Chains A and B, each alone.
Chain A
Amino acid sequence: MEAALDLIVPILAATLRVATPLILAALAGLFAERSGVVDVGLEGKMLAGAFAAAATAAVTGDVWLGLGAAILASSALALLHAFACVTLRGSQVVSGMAINVLAAGLTATLALAWFRQGGQTPALPPDGRFQPIALPGAQWIAEVPLLGRLVVGVLGGHTAPVYLALLLVPLAAFVLWRTRFGLRLRACGEAPGAVDAAGVSVAKLRYAGVMIAGLLCGTAGATISTAQGAAFSTDMTAGRGFIALAALILANWKPWPVLWTCLLFGLLDAVAIRLQGVPVPGLGVPFPVQAVQALPYILTVILLAGFVGRAVAPRAVGIPYVKER
């Protein structure tokens, strides 16, 4: 039993760490797409956030200022997205992709120009990074046989963004399903005409959805460069924005399922890291890591093909709203 715990506890702890930016980014996508705006620019906003956080933290030595800068940078891109999609009624997918390309080029160029380290930022001092937080009362919980070790090992010793992401899931569920604002936001994604007829501004709500996405993406980016990493380097988000999008689709655009799918993708990643090079019992050959790495995408494709349940997108997502005369 102890041996099993030795294996399971680090994998589950790694799952939480790896899943954190995914949860934040997927929740960002949730708010944007529930309001009716497709957001394929999660990746770019995260990258901008990662750069702003690492650059600010490197200069000021303060991780919270870094987080603030990340949110600002990501929100600026979100505002651009909202302006293009809501005010100008442009193509939402194109605008999202443009943001990805813009962020990839801009972060690399600015990093090169400001820090002269080939698109990297200087390594952060301890105060410039999110440090692990000890679980309050950890020593008493750990006394509980088996379960205690599991709880402390898995939930304890993470950085602030991990706990923040876990708290944001119920908050997002509450806001979207239990408040007037959330109800109207979701209505914008399903039947904007009805919202408009009720005398509520569709444009304002969509702006709000996209801006909340900007805020969350910035936090996700700061997590990557100042909690998980200790510097920014070019393209360091490495496709996590697209994985988050896949998680959002797999979760059917609902907050709690978003948590589960992100944790599932995180678990797959953690298991892939652990099992790499380990011979599969009975097979004799090492574990094919590529297969595990491809699983999130394969699962999404299978879902979209309708094999396991159905992914139902908000009905009006991707369609610019034109006020009826």
Chain B
Amino acid sequence: MRRHLLAALCGLALLAGPAAAQQEVRPAIVFDMGGRFDRSFNEAVHRGGQEFQRATGIQVAEFEVTAEPQREQALRNFARRGQDPIVAVGFAQRAAVETVAREFPNTRFVVLDSFVDLPNVRSVLFREEQGSYLAGMMAAMASRSGRIGFVGGMDIPLIRKFACGYVQGARAVNPQIQVFQNMTGSTPAAWRDPVRGSELARSQIERGADVIFHAAGGTGRGVLQAAADAGRLGIGVDSNQNHLHPGHVLTSMLKRVDVAARLAFEEARAGRFTGGRQVLGLAEDGVGVAFDEHNDRLVTAEMRQRVDRARAEIVAGRVSVHDFMTDNNCPVN
């Protein structure tokens, strides 16, 4: 009975929708572990939500997950309170989103970095390998020693995908370049151990690496710190981290989760929200490398030119970057 009533109400809402042109939305974001101000992934989503809030005056509700069981609770609470659409940040929320999205088929969900096959869920995936490819090219061009490094967070296929794109880009510039790869650990704690991150970076620096790319969340702060302390270069990830150590961060591989979140809210408001898979790559400006006043002295004109050319070729499909997650294998290492 209640379901029928709900369906009827929804129908009414749909009828009323076009008249108002814009639908009322009550957006919400559930952050992953690491928190809203991690200067990285979560913070980027937070910024996207804030942009939407500033532009429309609509309050974006937020929740920071600090323990595993909270994910499902947080999503369910938001759905029950009528928040819609709800953005869930991070691959770790996949199972929780799947469960709650089934319970609330009329609430729209967005899951970042993972795929949930339900009609009311939009799964936003990024072509990290393409952005990492450009970062790898820049690292290879900036390296004087012919040795560069990569520090990943938790050892999962997604992070291997970053590493694989990075190596491919570096090899495209210098086929002989040596790339050291380290993963911080195999548990979620690997995202929050800056001390271990800096040890890993130091071990790579001692072996001769002079540019180190991290894809390790909070652990990466230690990586960038160690690179800056040793007078080498780091490469940031997800958000623009060039400002953390100006002059010591070559660039940052951007993952525009802020755009993904903002788009979802805006489209929901305009009544154009769609479920299904959305893949954002270089062509959609979903990934990229950061250039700003903090790294302009590090980036040469040649570097900029080659990166722009590679970007155009990837967008045009003339260069294809292998995606580790398609076959759990990397052709180079």
* B-chain residues with CB within 8 Å of residue A235 when the two chains form the complex: 189, 192
Check A293 against B185 for contact (C-beta < 8 Å).
yes
Is the contact region of chain B dominated by helix, strand, or loop, or is it mixed?
Answer: mixed
Q: Among A18, A116, A233, A234, which residue has its beta carbon within 8 angstroms of that of B199? A: A18
Counted as pairs of residues, one from A and one from B, with CB atoms less than 8 Å apart, the total is 85
Taking CB atoms, residues of chain A closer than 8 Å to B200 are 273
Which residues of A sit under 8 angstroms from B192, Cβ to Cβ? 233-236, 238
Query: A118's contact among B35, B180, B193, B225, by CB below 8 Å, is which?
Result: B35
A228 interfacial by beta-carbon distance below 8 Å: yes
Establish whether residues A238 and B195, one from each chain, have CB atoms under 8 Å apart when the complex forms: yes
C-alpha gap A17/B198 in the complex (Å)? 11
Is there contact, CB below 8 Å, between A118 and B199? no
A202 interface hit (Cβ, 8 Å): no
Q: Please name all residues of chain B whose beta carbon is closer than 8 Å to the beta carbon of A229 when the two chains form the complex.
A: 194-195, 198, 222, 225
How many angstroms from the CA of A273 to the CA of B181 in the assembled complex?
10
Interface size class on chain B is: 20 to 34
A29 shortest CB reach to chain B, Å: 20
CB pair B42–A276 under 8 Å, yes or no, is: no
Residue pair B203, A233 in contact (C-beta under 8 Å):
no
A123 to B229, CA, bound (A): 13
Q: Is B206 touching A10 in the complex (CB atoms < 8 A)?
A: yes
Docked CA distance A10–B38 (Å): 31
Bound CA span A190–B18, Å: 81
A116 to B189, CA, bound (A): 22
Question: Distance (Å) between the CB of A276 and the closest chain B CB?
Answer: 5
Alpha-carbon gap, A276 to B183, bound state (A):
8
Which of A108, A228, A276, A289 contacts B66, CB < 8 Å? Answer: A108
From the candidates A117, A277, A293, name the one contacting B37 in the complex (CB within 8 A).
A117
A14 contact from B36, B183, B186, B199, Cβ within 8 A? B199
- List CB contacts (< 8 Å) of A1-36 with chain B: 10, 14, 17-18
The listed residue with most A CB atoms (<10 A of its CB), out of B189, B199, B244, is B199
27 contacts between A and B (CB under 8 A): A14-B203, A18-B199, A108-B66, A117-B37, A117-B39, A119-B35, A119-B37, A120-B38, A120-B218, A120-B221, A123-B244, A228-B198, A229-B194, A230-B221, A230-B222, A231-B194, A233-B192, A233-B194, A233-B221, A238-B192, A238-B195, A238-B196, A270-B203, A273-B182, A276-B182, A276-B183, A290-B186
Give the interface of A toward B (CB within 8 A).
10, 14, 17-18, 108, 112, 116-120, 123, 224, 228-231, 233-236, 238-239, 269-270, 273-274, 276-277, 289-290, 293
Q: Point out residues on B near A: beta carbons under 8 Å.
A: 34-39, 42-43, 64, 66, 180-183, 185-186, 189, 192-196, 198-200, 202-203, 206, 218, 221-222, 225, 244
